């Protein structure tokens, strides 16, 4: 007996999703590398890990507050992590495959 057509269609759909997810993982890794390269170009120290969650350590809470407000005004969403959650104040940046290089450039330009 032959496999039902619906099962073949289901399998084909899942294969397409699998291929697309590999492309999305590559795009995410490209975005992480691009973010880190752009930070290095302007002298911003980044976490240095190949992870979608990047941290930018800041000097003090006042600088964290100022940067957070500036980024918010620019409609750039980042997290603010304060002691005692971390030893130093830092911005928490979450990169995704849906970000474009221009999105990343805009973010970095405000760091």
Residue pair 22/97 in contact (Cβ under 8 Å)? The answer is no
- Residue in the structure block whose two tokens are 């240095």: 48
- pLDDT, one tens digit per residue, over 22-61 is 788 899 999 999 999 999 999 998 888 889 999 999 989 9
pLDDT range class, residue 15, cuts 50, 70, 90: confident
- Let me know the angle formed at the C-alpha of 87 by 83 and 92, rounded to the nearest 5 degrees: 75
Domain range enclosing 38: 5-109
Count of structural domains, the chain: 1
Q: How far apart are CA 73 and CA 47, in angstroms?
A: 24
Residue 95, domain CATH: 3.90.1150.10
- pLDDT, one tens digit per residue, over 55-78 is 999 989 999 999 999 999 999 999
């Amino acid at each position: 007996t032959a496999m039902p057509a619906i099962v073949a269609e289901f399998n084909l759909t899942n294969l397409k999703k699998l291929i697309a997810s590999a492309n999305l993982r590559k795009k995410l890794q490209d975005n992480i590398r691009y973010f880190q390269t752009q930070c290095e170009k302007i002298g911003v120290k980044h976490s240095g890990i190949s992870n979608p969650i990047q941290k930018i350590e800041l000097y003090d809470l006042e600088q964290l507050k100022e940067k957070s407000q500036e980024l918010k005004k620019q409609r750039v969403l980042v997290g603010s992590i304060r002691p005692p959650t971390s030893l130093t104040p830092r911005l928490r940046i979450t990169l995704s495959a849906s970000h474009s290089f221009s999105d990343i450039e805009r973010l970095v330009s405000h760091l």
